Amino acid sequence: MMVSNKVCENGGECVGLLPATNDDHGGVIVDIEEAMDAKVFVTLLRDSISTWRQQGKKGIWIKLPIGLVNLVEPTVKEGFRYHHAEPTYLMLVRWIPETTDTIPANASHRVGIGAIVLNDKREILKELLNLQGENINEAAVREVKEETGIDTKFLEILAFRQAHKVFFQKSDLFFICMMHPLSSDIKKQDLEIEAAQWMPFEEYAAQPVAQDHQLYKYIAELCLAKEQGDYTGLSPVPITSIFHKDLSYLYLNSRHLNQSLVSSDQF
Amino acid sequence: MMVSNKVCENGGECVGLLPATNDDHGGVIVDIEEAMDAKVFVTLLRDSISTWRQQGKKGIWIKLPIGLVNLVEPTVKEGFRYHHAEPTYLMLVRWIPETTDTIPANASHRVGIGAIVLNDKREILKELLNLQGENINEAAVREVKEETGIDTKFLEILAFRQAHKVFFQKSDLFFICMMHPLSSDIKKQDLEIEAAQWMPFEEYAAQPVAQDHQLYKYIAELCLAKEQGDYTGLSPVPITSIFHKDLSYLYLNSRHLNQSLVSSDQF
C-alpha cells in the first residue's frame, strides 16, 4: 500500500514525505527511483521519520539504486545501517521504536548444485552450477540441458554439504543431485564452457581429485549405492504456502513416507 | 599477503597505493580501516587501479566500514558496483581486465531450522531458529539447550523446504531436524521467549495451523514415520576440505550407504 506522501497538521502546515509502502511487519519501505538532491532528501527523511514515529512504525527500510549513491552518506548520518546490497542497489535500515530491534538477518548462504547424470551404460556426466532464486530441481534440469543439450529427469538429492567462510564470511550449501538421462547426445551449447562428456563410472571414481578429495570420494560412493538401488535421498514434492506466491518444494524421503500422503492433493 | 603500498617507477617517481591483500583468484582486496579524505582516496584509488591493471589483476574488492561512508560515492564514481553489505560494512567490486567478469554472486539464501524433539512418551517440543555461519546440527542442539535447557542428540534432517522471495528477493531454506532428548526438564532461560513446552504428539498433529498448513501437515507425518522406524532422512558426517578450514558436514542417508565407508577415517 502506498503511503500518502504529504501529511497536514491540524494547523494547516503540510510536510512532504518520502514515497513509501507499508511492509507486513509494521514498518515502511522507501523506494526512491528519481534523482534527488541530498539536502532535499535529508529534510524529507527527517519529516518522514517524525511522522512514522508518531504512527508507531517500526523498521524503516530505504532502498537506494546505485544511481542515487549520493544519498548513501546522508542516510547513514541519519542513523541508518546497511542491511544488504545487490549490484544495482543498497538497502539500509533503521529501527525507530524503543523496543528491541527485530530486523531480520541478511541472506547467509550461497547455494550450489552438483548435477550428476548416470546412464544405463554406467557412464556419468557432471555439471556444477550456482543458484540464485531458483528451485534446485528445476535449475538442475535446465542447466544440464543448456550446457550439454541432454534432457533429464530429476531424481533425488543424494546428500548435501554445508561449509563456512567459503566466500568472505558467507556459508555455502552444495547439493548433490542425481538425474536420469532422457536423451544421450551431447550438444555443446557454448564453445567457452568446459567440455562436457560421458565418462565411464569406474574412470570417474578412480580420478585423483586433489581438491575436495573426501567429498568426491563420497559422491562416487553415493552414486554406486544409488545405482545398486539401496540408497534413498530426498526427492521434491510441490508445496504451497500462503506466505510464498511462487511454488515451493519440500524435499523428503518419499520411499518411506506414506505414499498416499505424498501423492495426495487433499491437503 | 599484503601488497606493498608504494610502487616506484624506473625514473624514481613513486605512487602511493591503497592497502590491499591478494585474493586466491588473481584479484586484490582493499580493506581501509582509517578515516580518509575522499579526494586523497580517489587519487590513491586511481593510481592503485593503474598499477593493478599493469600487474594483470582481475577483480578489485573494496571493503568500506560504515564509518567510511564518505568514500562510497567516490568509489561508485570510479566504476565500482555494490557486491554485498552487512550492518557494519559495504563491499564494492570492479572487474578491471577486458575478459569476462567472473565475480561470484552474493549469498542468495537464508537458512532456518525447525528443531523437533520427540521423547519416549510421544511428546513433542519444537524450536525455530535462523542460522548465520553455523553448522545446522550444532546450532540445533545449542539452540534447544539455550531456549529450553534440554540436552539433545541430533539425529537427522527429515526434510527441507526451499522457498523464494521470502524476504525481498532472497530465498529461504528451512531444514526440519529430528532430535532425541537426553534430559526432560524444561528450564525457561529467557522470560521474553515464547513458552516452550512438551506437547502430546496427537495434540500437536491436530492443531489447526492456518499458516503454512501443508508444511505442518508434512512435519507431523514425517515425525510419525520416523517414530515408527521406517523413515530415514539425512544425517551429518564430518568432512574436511583443503578449501575450508572450519569443519564441514556432509548430510547423507547413512542407513543405506556402506557403513564401513561412512565411519572410516581413511579417506
Asked which of A1-15, A111-125, A221-235, B103-117 is least confident by mean pLDDT, the reply is A1-15
Q: Can you give the pLDDT at residue B265? A: 42
Predicted pLDDT of residue B263 = 44
Q: Are residues B57 and B86 in the same domain?
A: yes
Residue A106 counted as domain residue = no
Amino acid letter for position A231 = Y
Cβ–Cβ gap B167/A104 under 8 Å: yes
- Identify the pLDDT of residue B185: 79
Ranking A25-34, A239-248, B26-35, B187-196 by mean pLDDT, the lowest is B187-196
What CATH number should be reported for the domain holding residue A118?
3.90.79.10
As a whole number of angstroms, the distance between CA B138 and CA A113 comes to: 23
Residue A216 has pLDDT above 60, yes or no: yes
Residues B72 and B123 in one domain: no
Mean pLDDT, residues B85-109 taken together:
93
Mean pLDDT, rounded, for A199-206: 87
CA distance A213 to B126: 37
Same domain (yes/no): A62, A130: no
Q: For residue A244, list chain B residues with Cβ-Cβ distance below 8 A.
A: 163-166
Is the confidence at residue B208, as pLDDT, over 90?
Answer: no
Question: Of the spans A66-75, A198-207, A220-229, B168-177, which averages the highest pLDDT?
Answer: A66-75
Q: Are residues B72 and B146 in the same domain?
A: no
pLDDT for position A246? 73
Interface check A76 vs B, CB under 8 A: yes
Query: Percent of chain B beyond pLDDT 70?
Result: 84
User: Is a pLDDT exceeding 90 seen at residue B244?
Assistant: no
Asked whether residue A250 carries a pLDDT value surpassing 70, the answer given is yes
Chain A 1-60, residues with CB within 8 Å of chain B CB atoms: none
Nearest one of A262, A171, A168, A179 to A223, comparing CA atoms: A179
CA distance B137 to chain A (A): 10
- What's the pLDDT band for B174 if we cut at 50, 70, 90? very high
Q: Between chains, do B250 and A104 touch, taking CB under 8 Å as contact? A: no
- Same domain, yes or no: B83 and B116: no
Are the C-beta atoms of B101 and B69 separated by less than 8 Å?
Answer: no
Rg (CA), chain A: 26
Where does the pLDDT of residue B214 fall: very low under 50, low under 70, confident under 90, or very high at 90 and above?
confident
Burial class (CB in 10 A: 0-12, 13-18, 19+), A258: middle
Closest by Cβ to B231, choosing from A158, A170, A253 = A253
Query: Would B8 be classed as within a structural domain?
Result: yes
Find out whether B186 and B145 touch, Cβ atoms under 8 Å.
no
Secondary element (H or E) of residue B31: strand B28-31
Identify from B252, B259, B260, B261 which residue to disrupt to test chain A contact, counting A C-beta atoms within 10 A and taking the largest count: B252
Q: Do A72 and A129 share a domain, yes or no?
A: no
Structure confidence at residue A266 (pLDDT): 39
* Same domain as B117, residue B80: no
pLDDT band at A5; cut points 50, 70, 90: low
Range of the domain at B30: 2-95
Relative to beta strand B152-167, strand A248-252 is antiparallel
* pLDDT (mean) for A67-96: 97
Q: At which residue does the C-alpha cell 523498521 appear?
A: A59
pLDDT at B14 over 60: no
Average pLDDT, chain B: 86
Residue A57 in any domain: the answer is yes
- Asked, for residue B104, whether it belongs to a domain, the answer is no
**B-proximal residues of A, 88-127, CB under 8 Å:** 88-91, 104-111
| Range B172-199 average pLDDT | 80
Give chain A's domain count: 2
Both B120 and B226 in one domain: the answer is: yes
pLDDT-wise least confident of A36-45, A66-75, A255-264, B44-53: A255-264
Nearest 5 degrees, angle CA B145-CA B177-CA B240? 90
DSSP A58-115: -EEEEEEEGGGGGGHHHHHHTT-EEEEEETTEEEEEEE-SSSPP-PPPPP-EEEEEEE
Of A38, A69, A95, which residue sits at a domain end?
A95
The Cα A61–Cα A25 span in angstroms is: 12
Distances (CA, A) of B93 to B19, B104, B183, B241: 15, 10, 50, 27
Q: Using CB atoms, which residue from A232, A234, A261 is nearest to B256?
A: A232
Q: Please tell me whether residues A198 and A121 are part of one structural domain.
A: yes
Task: Please state the pTM of the whole predicted model.
Answer: 0.86
Across residues A82-105, what is the average pLDDT?
94
**Cα separation of B67 and A76, whole Å?**
9
Residue A258 scores a pLDDT above 70: no
The mean per-residue pLDDT over the stretch A131-153 comes to 93
Residues 6+ apart with CB under 8 A from A51: A7, A15, A17
Chain A residues within 8 A of B252 when measuring between CB atoms:
158-159, 218, 222, 233
Say if A122 falls within a structural domain: yes
On chain A, the residues whose CB falls within 8 A of the CB of B66 are 76, 81-82
Q: Which of A48, A67, A95 is the last residue of a domain?
A: A95
CA A114/CA B245 separation, integer angstroms: 22
The domain that holds A82 is classified in CATH as 3.40.630.30
| Chain segment B53-66, per-residue pLDDT in tens | 999 999 999 999 99
pLDDT at A6: 59
Nearest CA of chain A to the CA of B179: how many Å?
17
Contact map slice: A 193-232 vs B, CB within 8 A: 210-215, 217-218, 221-222, 225, 230-232
pLDDT band at residue A262 using 50, 70 and 90 as cut-offs: very low
Does B257 sit within 8 Å of A171, measured CB to CB? no
Count how many pairs of residues, chain A against chain B, have C-beta atoms within 8 Å: 286
Q: Which of A191, A192, A251 best tests the B interface by mutation, with the highest count of B CBs <10 A?
A: A251
- Cα–Cα distance, A96 to A55 (Å, whole number): 11
Which residues of chain B make contact with A233, given a CB cutoff of 8 A? 234, 252-253
| B79 and B40 co-located in one domain | yes
Q: Say if the Cβ atoms of B240 and A214 lie within 8 Å.
A: yes
Residue B255 in domain: no
Does the pLDDT at position B42 exceed 50?
Answer: yes
Contact A153, A236 (CB under 8 A): no
B260 lies in some domain: no
Q: pLDDT grade, residue B115 (50/70/90)?
A: very high
Whether A237 is covered by a domain: the verdict is no
Confidence category of residue A203, pLDDT binned at 50, 70, 90 = confident
- pLDDT value of position B194: 58
**Which string of DSSP letters, residue by residue, matches A238-250?**
EE--SS-SS-EEE
B246 CB neighbours in chain A (<8 A) are: 163-165
Domain end marker among B62, B95, B128? B95
8 Å CB contact between A105 and A71: no
Query: Stretch B148-166: mean pLDDT, rounded?
Result: 93
Asked if residue A58 and residue A30 are part of one domain, the reply reads: yes
Q: Which of A82, A162, A169 sits opposite B248 (nearest CB)?
A: A162
- Could you read off the pLDDT of B223-241 as tens digits, one per residue? 989 988 889 999 999 998 7
B163-A91-A77 Cα angle (round to 5): 155
- Chain B positions touching A70 (Cβ under 8 A) are 73
Same structural domain, A179 and A227? yes
Chain B nearest-CA distance from A183, in A, is 28
With a pLDDT cut of 90, the percent of chain B lying above it is 57
Quote the ipTM score: 0.86
Query: Cβ separation of A109 and B106 shorter than 8 Å?
Result: no
